[in-house]
A and B are shown apart, each in its own frame.
Chain A
Amino acid sequence: MITRTAPPAADPESRLRPLRYGVAIAVTALVILALIASSILNYVYLDTIPARASLYGLLAVASITLGTYILVRAFDRDRATRRNHLIRAAVLIGLGVLLWLLVIDVFVFTQSAGPGIAAVCALACLPTTAFGLFVVRRMDRNHKEPWRLVLVAAAWGAIVATSLVVWGETLWESSAQHALVPGPGLDTSLAFMAGILEELAKGTAVLLLFLVMRDQFDDVVDGIVYGAAVGLGFNFLESVSYMTNLYSIYQPEGTGAFAAGIQWYGRQVLGLFFGHATYTAYIGAGVGIARQLPSVRRKALAIVAGFVVAIAAHFSWDAWATIFPIQNNFFGIVEIHLRTLIMTGPFTAGLIALLIFGIRYEGQNLVDQLRKEAATGQGAILPEEVQILASPWQRLAQRMRAMGRAGVRGYFTVSRLQTAQLDLAMERWHRERKEIDTPLEAEQELRRRVIQLRHWVAA
């Protein structure tokens, strides 16, 4: 029989854990309600869903049905296996919801040029978006985030955030076009619309990751990585929608592919890191800084500050990009690049400054914790390993040496050991700062895991 234990927490007085889970549930409930409302309104007012989409919808329904079944059965099982069943159920239900949202998105955003062109546009955007995600994940040179969370963040940006904004933007745009004088006033209103609604929708993903996946959300660097990943996902679907839309508009004039290509270059090459990735990374930076601040008031202020910068950056581009005239000649190509550099460059530069400082801050503290752990003599981190673990290049060199000795398996075994050692240092850092709510046993478990991996490496 498994008995419940009450291990000591790092900060016994912390009451934030139940509170943040409550906030996460409330945010999730609001998102689900908004999505249901958006889906119904899309169906009723925009058009009916084509038959082919219903097939994908069936898959979504099947996933949700199976997930629900496993969820119900999970509570009949013993405590030891219940968790695994709950995770399976959550994955299936989540997959079903994402599939359904994808159906809606494909229908809403890509119907204009037909599924074939939409597929070509999506294929064109996949490699660039994948490259963006690769670069963004590698920015965290001390402690990389798991691919599954980076991809979840990107999927939220592509599927959930776009679904969240479509109805709100339709409503705002329609109201503004019926009430305002066409021209700069209307353009400014629409720029506010895009900045506010799109950043709120994308930022909700970062906020939920912060509330639910605290173990993988360590600081400002992680926030920037997750925020940029959400932005890249959003940029992916927005690129596909703009490319297909412009293709369908200009194709009868024989310039559809050229118009779609210009959009691809502007959004997937020139604006890959400058646009949505930069905006939402600011929200992540705010949430990441809040993660480590001691008072609730400062946490709230940091999160609001991140949102304000993101909305302002997004607004300034949408409202004022047209101030820069683009000539219809060769120099126009240069002007397009200059416009992006001048309009969004300062925001990206500010973000890079936060990122560099955050990496330095994180790195110094990890080295400090590695040294302290080595000094305990428990064997998880040896004194001679501290310098290796502190440097990404030396870690890579160590992995390459392992590969030379034991092949690919050796490379990945050492990689797992290094990751576990850095996880331990990160855990120690958060515990020292009293910003963690997992019990001390979690740290001991990490230490045991490192020692176990070390035995494997030695073997």
Chain B
Amino acid sequence: MSSVTYDQLRVLYRTLLIFATVGTVILAIGLVEFVYYEPPGQSSGIKAHIVGVYAYDPATKQVNGPDRSEFPRAGEFAAVVDWGSLPGSLVVDARWYDSFGALEGKVGPGTPAQLAGDSVIPVEVPPGFHYVLPGRYTFVVERWKDGMPVEVLGRRFVVVDRS
């Protein structure tokens, strides 16, 4: 094997190692980002009481019918939260996310007392659309600290059918 050939292969090998070093830095940044948004040791043991998810009438802003986990596409729905189940000192909010992770309705953040008048949290129909998009929706009640949500105190999943 000539030295020239070996040097060429060594250049390729070392270039790849440099790229891998950059890759490792990228993955490390990703890990730091994850830890920043999911800080360890945030489990308070507090549970929010989600009363249920019900069909929702936007005209009256009232829920009706039984607690359900599946809705037709044309039907609107909302979650009902018992804010009184949470300690008054907490800062909390409640949010709906669709299957793409997009925010589709929220109340808060605020203390449970401030949110007492917003116990019904409906899913919002995206602007320009007739109905909510089908897929799996996630409803969460979150505890806030230092200006961002750090813990999920209650969670519900709802499926919206394609038809």
Inter-subunit contact A183/B149 (CB<8 Å) = yes
Inter-subunit contact B37/A184 (CB<8 Å) = yes
Residues of B within 8 A of A183 (CB): 37, 149
* Interface assignment of A309: CB less than 8 Å from any CB of chain B: yes
Inter-subunit contact B24/A354 (CB<8 Å) = no
Closest partner residue, chain A, to B35 (CB atom): A185
A308, B73: Cα distance in complex, Å: 42
CB distance from A103 to the nearest CB of B (A): 22
Contact residue range for chain B? 35 or more
Residues of A within 8 A of B135 (CB): 249
**Contact string against A for B residues 9-51, beta-carbon threshold 8 Å, 1 for contact and 0 otherwise:** 1011101110110111011001001101110000000000000
Contact of A308 among B24, B130, B150 (CB under 8 A): B24
CB distance from A314 to the nearest CB of B (A): 10
* Interface assignment of B76: CB less than 8 Å from any CB of chain A: no
**Contact string against B for A residues 177-194, beta-carbon threshold 8 Å, 1 for contact and 0 otherwise:** 110111111111101100
Inter-subunit contact B37/A308 (CB<8 Å) = no
A289, B12: Cα distance in complex, Å: 7
A302, B142: Cα distance in complex, Å: 44
Inter-subunit contact A186/B101 (CB<8 Å) = yes
* Interface assignment of A361: CB less than 8 Å from any CB of chain B: yes
A439, B27: Cα distance in complex, Å: 44
Residues of B within 8 A of A285 (CB): 16
Contact of A312 among B27, B130, B134, B142 (CB under 8 A): B27
A177, B163: Cα distance in complex, Å: 25
Q: Which of A276-317 contact B (CB under 8 A)?
A: 282, 285-286, 289, 292-293, 298, 301-302, 304-306, 308-309, 311-313, 315-316
* Interface assignment of A357: CB less than 8 Å from any CB of chain B: yes
Residues of A within 8 A of B149 (CB): 181, 183
A312, B20: Cα distance in complex, Å: 9
Inter-subunit contact A361/B9 (CB<8 Å) = yes
* Interface assignment of A350: CB less than 8 Å from any CB of chain B: yes
Contact residue range for chain A? 35 or more
A433, B13: Cα distance in complex, Å: 16
Inter-subunit contact A185/B97 (CB<8 Å) = no
A434, B1: Cα distance in complex, Å: 9
Beyond A192-B30, A313-B23, A316-B26, whether A249 also contacts B134 by CB under 8 A is: yes
Inter-subunit contact A253/B130 (CB<8 Å) = yes
Closest partner residue, chain A, to B38 (CB atom): A185
Contact of A289 among B1, B9, B22, B130 (CB under 8 A): B9
Inter-subunit contact A311/B20 (CB<8 Å) = no
A185, B39: Cα distance in complex, Å: 9
Contact of B16 among A184, A286, A292 (CB under 8 A): A286
Inter-subunit contact B30/A191 (CB<8 Å) = yes
Inter-subunit contact B17/A301 (CB<8 Å) = yes
Beyond A181-B140, A181-B142, A248-B162, whether A315 also contacts B16 by CB under 8 A is: no
Contact of A302 among B13, B130, B131, B157 (CB under 8 A): B13
Inter-subunit contact A350/B19 (CB<8 Å) = yes
Closest partner residue, chain A, to B149 (CB atom): A181
* Interface assignment of A132: CB less than 8 Å from any CB of chain B: no
Beyond A188-B30, A311-B23, whether A354 also contacts B37 by CB under 8 A is: no
Of the A-B pairs whose beta carbons lie under 8 Å apart in the complex, a sample of 28, sorted by A's number, is A112-B162, A177-B138, A180-B38, A180-B152, A181-B38, A181-B151, A181-B152, A184-B33, A186-B101, A188-B30, A188-B33, A188-B34, A189-B38, A253-B129, A289-B12, A301-B17, A302-B13, A305-B19, A306-B20, A308-B27, A309-B22, A311-B27, A312-B26, A312-B27, A313-B23, A353-B15, A357-B8, A365-B5
